[in-house]
Each structure stands twice: as structure tokens, then as C-alpha cells.
């Protein structure tokens, strides 16, 4: 399951994607589709704090998101481990426990 919110600050929109539960093929493809259809896919924040499992297809879309400039919010050992293994940039000051 995921939710997409668009926050606008100083005239610049930030797309905030919150993913919860399992990130499998269907959810991963829908996330990719939504990001590609957005106006500015380069201002992304992806919240992985409530993810419980990520399939290979989910890891692929997370890597793609990282490559296009997304920053990640992680608040648990599982999601932090995924971010570190995939070399995904952690957004500072948003609940992430990373140094």
C-alpha cells in the first residue's frame, strides 16, 4: 500500500510517497507510474518507515527513485538496512535514526 502527497513550499512542490507493508511488483509499478506522470519527479521524499518487506521488484524501483534524486525517510532497522544496502540517500531531520 502507498500514498502520494504533494506538499508545496516556496512555490516548489515536493512529492511525498509513503509506502507501508509489502512493496511488491504491483505496488512498485504503480509507484513508478505515478512518479513518471508527476510534473516534477525530481523533488521526491519516499517514506519507508512502515515497510515490512520489499521484493526484488520493489528494490529495483527504490534504486530507480534514488537515481532520479529521491531522498528516503527511514525509521526502522529493516528499512535502514535496505537504504544502506541499495545506497539510497537518507533525508535528514525527518525521523531517520541514521547519523
Domain chopping of the chain, boundaries: 2-85
Using the predicted structure, report yes or no on whether residue 57 has a pLDDT greater than 80: yes
Q: 2-85: what fold?
A: Transcription Regulator spoIIAA (3.30.750)
pLDDT reported for residue 9: 64
Using the predicted structure, report yes or no on whether residue 48 has a pLDDT greater than 60: yes
pLDDT confidence bin for 4, thresholds 50/70/90? confident
- Both ends of the chain: CA-CA distance in Å? 28
pLDDT reported for residue 97: 46
Using the predicted structure, report yes or no on whether residue 99 has a pLDDT greater than 50: no
pLDDT reported for residue 96: 46
Amino acid at each position: 500500500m502507498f500514498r502520494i502527497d504533494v506538499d508545496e513550499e516556496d512555490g516548489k512542490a515536493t512529492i511525498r510517497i509513503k509506502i507501508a507493508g509489502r512493496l511488491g511488483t504491483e505496488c512498485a509499478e504503480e509507484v513508478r507510474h505515478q512518479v513518471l506522470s508527476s510534473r516534477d519527479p525530481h523533488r521526491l521524499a519516499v517514506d519507508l518507515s512502515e515497510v515490512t518487506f520489499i521484493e526484488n521488484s520493489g528494490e529495483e524501483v527504490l534504486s530507480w527513485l534514488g537515481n532520479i534524486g529521491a531522498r528516503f525517510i527511514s525509521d526502522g532497522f529493516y528499512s535502514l538496512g535496505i537504504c544502506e544496502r541499495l545506497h539510497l540517500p537518507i533525508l535528514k531531520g525527518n525521523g531517520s535514526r541514521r547519523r
